[in-house]
Amino acid sequence: MVSKDIEELYEKRLIFWGYGFLFLFFIVLVKLFYLQILRHSYFMRLAVKRTFSRVLIPAPRGRIFDRRGVLLAGDRPTFNLYLDPYYLKGHEDQVLRVLARILGEKLSVLKTRYLLKKRQSYGEVLLRQGLDWATVARIEARSYYLPGVRVEARPARFYPFGPAFFYPLGYVSRVSRRDLRVLQDKGYGPEDFVGRRGLEKAYEEVLRGQKGMREVERDAFGRIVRIIREVPPRPGRDLFLTLDAYWQREIYRLLKGRSGAVVVMDPRNGEVLSLVSAPSPDPQEFVRGFTHRAWEELNRNPYKPLLNKALQAYQPGSTFKPVTLLAALEAGVVTPAEEIYCPGYYRLGRQIFRCWRRWGHGKVSLVQALAQSCDVYFYTLGTRLDIDYLAHFARQCGFGRLSGLGIPGEKPGLVPDRTWKRRAQGKRWQKGETLLVAIGQGPLEVNLMQLVKFYAALGNGGTLWKPYVVEEIADPSGKEVQASRPRKEGELPVKGIHLRWVKEGLIEAVNGKHGTGRAARLKGIVVAGKTGTAQVVRRKKEHETKEEIPYQERDHAWFVAFAPAEDPQVVVGVFVEHGGHGGEVAAPLAGKILRMYFGEGKP
């Protein structure tokens, strides 16, 4: 009896649950019918919902050419991968998994990069740059599974000559968040590039161009389905330089393994034919972006590749002696006929000032003193000159101020006087300091461009030309917009006869039997020039070899020359940082460059 009641109870429950499941199944069918049939058109419209947006089109940056029309900097297309977080909502893992397979990256690495850049970006996330055609094709083929993913062709800066033109071109890099605080009002966005150094920075407004605009319609996946309206971008203007690509490349090769700079200029008008600083980084690396490790290595490099040594200020050594000599001639404290005895040292009170030639030069005249770079001769002139007069004269010769080249980062150097020392050190000027300045040492600092500009004036009869590297600005069609014209800045404050005597000394320095610049001689062409050896650290031991001295304590080597001496066509300035003696290191390099100029390499 009990068992029969239990069976009936189970049977009733089974019937109840059966009808319950049937009812639920019926509800699901009704819901599906409602969604699939009755509401089909609504959800279809939702699925193909359109959005409208405005897309900025980047403008091609202006190109940079050398004096012959050789491309030095330009744009080439690159494919970038963008992700839009708005369309990726709910699909991030799926999309990143597909992209990881296409790009051949680990999903965890790709996801970390996306999340990091998502926090740093205001809108779309630039996930990858420089995609190849095959990768772009694979992404487009799977676009249905990649909502919010977009590949865009954008112009990327290209520097075909690499490090040889890092100076003076500079480079461009992506605008940072810090930059946007200043540049956003000028129309820059987070995906734009801006000039950072050199001409890329100095002529940013000329080169950057004007962005275009495209109004588009997008589907629910963020894909562009229709272009409503388009305003094309306006390319930037082109620069045509006075520089010669062949020269720049060959001179950079000459400096391989050294830290230094070379400037080559036309003394007849101020055209800069070459401006090289070595070693230099590859500007393309700044476009791609450095890894933290690569950036640290670049900054630790003892040869200082991030310094433009052609425009940095250093002690000039004996290359400054023509300034001292001209100042003394103009002041009337020395004559060409006067001979000064050099025993190898000069005594001023209790101080002993040594000549570079320990056993001395004996009696030397003006021409001999300049040719043999006799320190004692110039110490003597230093005692006869007032430092304020010498400083004022040097400034009139173009020192202590920017050369006028117009490339960012130039150091004006330092021409010391009494006022400077009182303000900088709170001390009085000492006579012994004038002796050091007279030979290009002490607190005196100049840059190579200033020296080349001054020696150009020595060679051309006294005219100080403003140096320039931009010959012409043109629109993309090649139509000239603006042309540079040679500009005189002034004249050296000297008499012509005094220039003649100094030039004789410079000719003897290269062509004379005892000249310090003999390594720069040319066959059939008279070269005039001056060596310089700038002491970095005062050495206690007098006879150490170059290899025994730590690199950072070795002397700087200089040489500046013009040729032909009587009617100069070219001025060459060479600076080798910690290179040793100017006559042994810098002069031979200048000789090779001059031989290139007057041989097959003439621009």
309 and 409 in contact (C-beta within 8 Å)? no
Set 277, 318, 365, 373: catalytic member: 318
Residue 318 falls in the annotated catalytic set: yes
For 503, the token pair is 């030039």
| Residue 279 preceded by cis peptide, ω within 30 | yes
Helices (H), 80-176: 85-88, 92-103, 107-120, 133-141, 166-169
Cα distance between residue 568 and residue 267, in whole Å: 7
What's the rounded Cα separation, in Å, for the pair 356 and 345? 9
User: What gap in Å lies between CA 351 and CA 576, rounded to an integer?
Assistant: 30
CB 513: neighbour CB atoms within 10 A? 8
- Within 153-223, residue ranges assigned H as helices are 166-169, 177-183, 198-202, 204-207
What kind and span of H or E run contains 426? none
Decide: residue 214, CB within 10 A, 0-12 exposed, 13-18 middle, 19+ buried.
middle
Strands (E), 121-244: 125-131, 149-158, 172-174, 193-195, 212-218, 224-231, 238-241
- Residue 186: in which H helix or E strand, if any? none
Residue 10: strand, helix, or coil: helix
Strands 470-474 and 238-241: antiparallel
Contacts with 488 (C-beta within 8 Å, 6 or more apart), sequence order: 463, 464, 465, 466
User: Which positions are catalytic?
Assistant: 318
